Amino acid sequence: MKIAIFGLGYVGTVSAACLADMGHTVVGVDINPTKVKLINQGKSPIVETGLPELIDRMVSKGQLSATVEAAEAMQDADISLVCVGTPDKGNGSPLLSAVSRACSDIGQHISVAADYHVVIIRSTILPGTMERMVAPTLEAASGLKIGEDLGLCFNPEFLREGSSLKDFYDPPFT
pLDDT digits 0-9 by tens, 131-174: 999 999 999 999 999 999 999 999 988 888 888 888 888 887 66
Kindly state the DSSP code that residue 93 receives in the 8-state scheme. S
Q: In what order do the strands lie in the sheet with 117-121?
A: 64-67, 25-29, 2-6, 79-82, 117-121, 150-154
Rounded to whole angstroms, the Cα distance separating 104 from 137 reads 6
Q: Which CATH number fits domain 2-169: 3.30.70.1730, 3.30.420.40, 3.40.50.300, 3.40.50.720?
A: 3.40.50.720
How many Cβ atoms are within 10 Å of 14's Cβ, its own excluded? 25
The domain ranges of the chain are 2-169
First to last CA, the chain: 25
| pLDDT of 21 strictly over 80 | yes
Q: Which letter does DSSP use for residue 159 in this model?
A: P
State pTM to two decimals. 0.93
The per-residue pLDDT for range 98-143, each reduced to its tens digit, is 999 999 999 999 987 768 999 999 998 989 999 999 999 999 999 9
